[in-house]
Structure 1
């Protein structure tokens, strides 16, 4: 009852205080301070803030951010009670909420920082995954290489041991043939053919087990094709189609290249039906680089097999050793080239070899 209008003040954003009767409604003042006080106050037509009403009921309230003249403001309302617990005043504080602009900017920066961190973490995880995957691949390759070295060493040892018995068999065959004058007996022709086949097999084992030193020389395509034709069986030679030879001259190992091409051509003829042609296309896709394409029209290579054809000792032939294409792949790697295969079922296979000028690369 002793509360005067001037005892309840409103502190605005500029730090000045104005009478409470500029901010309250009559009913709320009556409820809080009594009818005598409310009668003495001049109540403005401005509606009482919801937060202020809550403060009149004894609650401390912080308002939402409101904009006045484009500036953000926040208000705080705190009820002030006397020692008897009765409401005697309401403390209202308004202040610019400009620091929320800083918070908003900080929030955006945090979001950006989080996004960048997420990207970096993802990239790091991807990098680590690739490194682990590559490491596992290298470990598997290393194990395969160690296994192949052991097989190569064993093959070389066995091959050398087989040379002498084959020589004895060949000599014995010749002696028996002369002794019994059996030049026309097919069995005496069959034995030398099998000895030649076994010698080729031994040569393959020895070739695979060695890492020969490269002997670089200029490659002349006419000489290479001539040597290949001479090495092919007569039946295959008649069905080989040669493309026009390029003028490009590079330096590489002629003997190794001829061996690789001959291996692929023999495989192509074996995969083709009798009498079918096999094409050898030689081109120069880039300067100081040669491309060899061997094309057959055989039954094709199944997709699940294509990835294995260069694996040592892998073969789908009953009498194959699985070393022909493996040796070819090893030779191409030594020549710092590439070898790829594309095949379609019942349409044929194209095997492509590309080699660079080793003189330019060195």
Structure 2
């Protein structure tokens, strides 16, 4: 009974690497029934996957050392990753070996969320002091520059424009610091997510036209209202869509889709046709000062992560080199204000 009722996948195999028995949890993990698996070669389970060499190495280590544990990552055709702990013990009884398989995907995802959350909190504390220290001399600089505006000679006008433009950029960075530094006053209310997105698209349409970028929208009809802070969500959408425009210097399409999921959530996906982002860089997106842009700070996406987190939502990023990147935001229909 203990074998069959275990929530972990249990797999018994002999020294000829034939499957002798497995429980129902293992059937669920492999998506195959016990009748089809018993008597089959252990490695045959993984013959059409990229992880077969890892499984062979794992089994060899268990046979050699008596026991061995590994973390195996399985990636679906859609690019979704599942993480499994494989623990194997050789000769639990004569001629029989046991492999315990634990699905640790949720644990890994929670650890990653906590790591990012801790980073945000630390950066937030640092940001408060930095932003205020910079803002004071910045105010003086902006004031004196404005006083000089009338006396700027024609040949120096370009320098004046560069100075004011860069001061505005610094001011924008300071504002992003302050958003991280402390919670902003927010008024959560019931709003139409489609309307918020339409207003965002209208706002960015001129920039899109300049870059030869077209918006393609697909919004599900009769979507329920969501409980949100509309200006904060608009900030997230602006940040992601502006990035999408900028990664397509030769133009292209941005597909924006909004629909309701079976789990009573709202899914917003923003898909560009840029060059894509390497997998190792995707993991770092949202971290402070990490950016794939030449003049970026990484704070925009970091702020976006925090806003979505405050809406009890999640951000997922999928990318394919040479084809583009998709940002997917999942929001609950009944989020509570914080």
The TM-score, its normalising length taken from structure 1, stands at 0.56
Q: Which runs of 5+ in 1 are unaligned?
A: 1-113
Root-mean-square deviation (CA, aligned residues, Å) is 3.7
2:222 to 211, 226, 247: 247
Partner of 1:59: none
Other-structure match for 1:208: 180
Aligned ranges 1:47-86 → 2 under 5 Å: none
Report the equivalent of 1:187.
Answer: 159
**1:313 and 2:289 equivalent?**
yes
Q: Is 1:264 the counterpart of 2:236 in the alignment?
A: no
**Cross-structure match for 1:235:** 207
Change (3 A) 1:329 1:240: farther
Is the partner of 2:249 in helix, strand or coil? coil
Partner of 1:300: 276
User: 1:343 aligned to 2:315?
Assistant: no
Task: Please list the CA deviations of residues 164-191 of structure 1 after superposition, one character each: whole Å capped at 9, or x if unmatched.
Answer: 2222222222211113465992222222
CA shift digits 1:214-267 (9 cap, x unpaired): 532122245313432354373226634141433212222212211111111122
Q: More relative contact order in 1 or in 2 (CA 8 Å, sep 6+)?
A: 2
Tell me if structure 1 keeps the 8 A contact 2:315–2:330.
yes
Task: Look up the match of 1:170.
Answer: 142
TM-score by length of 2: 0.60
In 2, Cα distance between equivalents of 1:183 and 1:230: 37
Q: Distance in 2 between matches of 1:260 and 1:141?
A: 18
Moved more, 352-361 or 299-308: 352-361
In structure 2, C-alpha distance between the alignment counterparts of 1:161 and 1:318, rounded to whole Å: 26
In the alignment, is the contact (CA less than 8 A) between 2:123 and 2:288 conserved in 1?
Answer: no
SS in 2 for 1:308: coil
Structure 1 142/361 Cα, relative in aligned 2: closer, same or farther at 3 Å?
A: closer
The change in CA–CA distance for 1:226 and 1:355 in structure 2 (over 3 A counts) is same
Judging changes above 3 Å, is the alpha-carbon distance between structure 1 residues 253 and 274 closer, same or farther for their aligned structure 2 residues?
A: same
Question: Structure 2: how far apart are the matches of 1:134 and 1:175?
Answer: 58
Work out the CA distance in 2 between the residues paired with 1:359 and 1:333: 11
Deviation at 1:343, TM superposition (A): 1.0
Q: Which structure has greater strand proportion? A: 2
Provide, for residues 2-32 of structure 1, a one-character-per-residue CA deviation record: whole Å limited to 9, x for no partner.
Answer: xxxxxxxxxxxxxxxxxxxxxxxxxxxxxxx
Distance in structure 2 (CA, Å) of the matches to 1:134 and 1:244: 34
Q: Distance in 2 between matches of 1:312 and 1:351?
A: 18
Unmatched runs of 5 consecutive residues or more in structure 2: 1-91
What does residue 123 of structure 2 align with? Answer: 151
In 2, distance between residues paired with 1:218 and 1:251? Answer: 4
SS in 2 for 1:163: helix
Q: Is the 8 A contact 1:288 1:357 kept in 2?
A: yes
How has the CA–CA distance of structure 1 residues 356 and 149 changed in structure 2, closer, same or farther, with 3 Å as cutoff? closer
Local SS of the residue matching 1:155: helix
Q: Which whole-Å CA distance do the structure 2 matches of 1:291 and 1:142 have between them?
A: 23
Note if contact 2:273-2:325 (Cα within 8 Å) is conserved in structure 1.
yes
Please, which of 122, 133, 140 is the counterpart of residue 161 of structure 1?
133
CA distance in 2, matches of 1:331, 1:180: 42
Structure 1 297/183 Cα, relative in aligned 2: closer, same or farther at 3 Å?
same
The count of residues paired between Structure 1 and Structure 2 equals 240
Report how far residue 209 of structure 1 moved.
2.5
- Residues 330-339 or 227-236, more deviating: 227-236
TM-superposed deviation, 1:301 = 0.5
Structure 1 pair 311/143, CA: closer, same or farther in 2 (3 Å)?
closer
The 2-side partners of 1:174 and 1:263 are apart by: 29
